[in-house]
Amino acid sequence: MEKDRRRSDLLHLLGLMLLIVSGIAAVAQYSDPSFIGNLDTVTTLSTTVPGNGDVNPYGVARVPRTLGNLVEGQFLISNFNNGANLQGTGTTIVEISPSGALTQFAQIDAATTKCPGGIGLTTALVALRSGFVIVGSLPTTDGTAATAQAGCLIVLNSWGKVVETFSGNHINGPWDMTAVDGGWVAVLFVTNVLNGTVAANGTVVNKGTVVRMLLVIPDGGVPLLVNSTVVATGFPERTDPVALVIGPTGVAFDEQTGILYVADSLDNRIAAVPGALFRWDASRFNSTISQGGALNDPLGLTFAPNHHLLAANGNDGNIVEVDPRTGRQVAKVLVDATGGPPPGSGALFGLTTTSDGVYFVDDNSNTFNLLH
């Protein structure tokens, strides 16, 4: 009991320090007008295909600081498929400037990286102020869910070299991720979609999780995993012959309220997990802030500059804007109607925003785009 109390006190103290260092204890400033409602132009900035032919771009992360090969304000994109279009086999991360210039940031060698099952880079992608990049891997050997493995989180330095991997510790099919970045300490929130899904062979199981991982980053050293805790569970998930697996995907942490928002893809809703930074139990009763309506397999999730949530639909090519205070869906914009049926399905995954608009990947065209 005493050990648990001390551990809880330590995490609480580190969390408070993180809030102070990150400058996120400010009073929330909400804006009612829609962010995307008046955006009507989609500009293709660049292909996301590197030299080895990897396709199916998933994760998007904006670089916060220039270090090594990382340039502040540029974007990192992870690829889930290899050149043969097999899911769960992509090994590359590309870096793209706002003007569309592309370079390869990393190509991860499965033979030398200790990740259970191999390499298949998912939407779980963050770039930290310390210069480290962390990416999730949900690997397969043949592109099918039957061979999907638990995977890991892979830590790369600012030069794109693998320096650490995290496996076990409740990681089981890391699908998306967000970070609360305090510089020398960071908290990751990771969604996981393989808790019983492969064995269920297409049947829905309510075992999807969100795992909180506390990292300490010593000066001159690599990130150290201090603690791993399941903070939310019970999300529906299943394997899928087209999408490989469907389950809880995008996560967005509200640094002003402490609420973690989760894109619950199968239930077509945005869920809220209060107190996510400090809770020690796995909440099964996550409140729903918005469900149905324009939401249609929400995948990527991020905050807009007006503090509304933006969700990228997997089934129809729409980006949907939700006011987290009321749950009201204030706008939707169609950014890709190709492919399908239905039109636009399979196009969207990761996205992020700046004052310029919404940057997003398009899996149907293997491109990085700007809605403005």
Residue 70 is given by DSSP the state B
Asked whether residue 365 carries a pLDDT value surpassing 80, the answer given is yes
Q: By percentage, how much of the chain surpasses pLDDT 70?
A: 91
Domain parsing of the chain, residue ranges: 2-371
Cα distance between residue 172 and residue 209, in whole Å:
9
Asked whether residue 4 carries a pLDDT value surpassing 80, the answer given is no
| Predicted TM-score (pTM) of this structure | 0.92
If phi > 0 it is left, if psi is from -120 to 50 it is alpha, else beta; for residue 18 that is alpha
If phi > 0 it is left, if psi is from -120 to 50 it is alpha, else beta; for residue 329 that is beta
pLDDT band per the 50, 70, 90 thresholds, residue 25: very low
The lowest-confidence range among 181-185, 231-235, 337-341, 362-366 is: 337-341
pLDDT of residue 342: 87
Chain centroid to Cα 68, Å, comes to 23
Cα distance between residue 359 and residue 368, in whole Å:
7
pLDDT of residue 15: 57
The lowest-confidence range among 24-28, 73-77, 264-268 is: 24-28
Q: Where are the alpha helices (DSSP H) in 53-125?
A: none
Which tokens is 254 given?
A: 């509200």
Cα distance between residue 298 and residue 318, in whole Å:
9
pLDDT band per the 50, 70, 90 thresholds, residue 282: confident
Degrees, nearest 5: CA angle 336-59-119: 125
End-to-end CA distance of the chain: 54
pLDDT of residue 285: 59
Asked whether residue 321 carries a pLDDT value surpassing 80, the answer given is yes
pLDDT of residue 363: 96
**Among 220, 122, 203, 108, residue whose Cα is nearest residue 165:** 108
**Among 136, 139, 195, 138, residue whose Cα is nearest residue 166:** 136
The arithmetic mean of pLDDT across residues 117-131, rounded, is 97
Give the largest CA-CA distance in the chain: 58
Report residue 197: phi and psi, to 5°: -70, -45
pLDDT of residue 284: 64
pLDDT of residue 322: 98
pLDDT band per the 50, 70, 90 thresholds, residue 280: confident
Per-residue pLDDT tens over the stretch 46-66: 999 999 999 999 999 999 999
Residue 157: Cβ within 10 Å count = 19
Q: Do 72 and 63 contact (CB within 8 A), yes or no?
A: yes
CB within 8 A of 99, min separation 6: which ones?
Answer: 45
Per-residue pLDDT tens over the stretch 257-274: 999 999 999 999 999 999
Q: Are strands 260-264 and 248-253 parallel, antiparallel or unpaired?
A: antiparallel
The arithmetic mean of pLDDT across residues 161-168, rounded, is 98
Mean pLDDT of the chain: 92
Q: Are strands 174-181 and 185-192 parallel, antiparallel or unpaired?
A: antiparallel
If phi > 0 it is left, if psi is from -120 to 50 it is alpha, else beta; for residue 265 that is alpha
The arithmetic mean of pLDDT across residues 198-205, rounded, is 95
Sign of dihedral through CA atoms 196, 198, 199, 204? Answer: positive
Fold of 2-371: Neuraminidase (2.120.10)
pLDDT of residue 281: 83
Cα distance between residue 163 and residue 151, in whole Å:
16
**Among 153, 216, 159, residue whose Cα is nearest residue 186:** 216
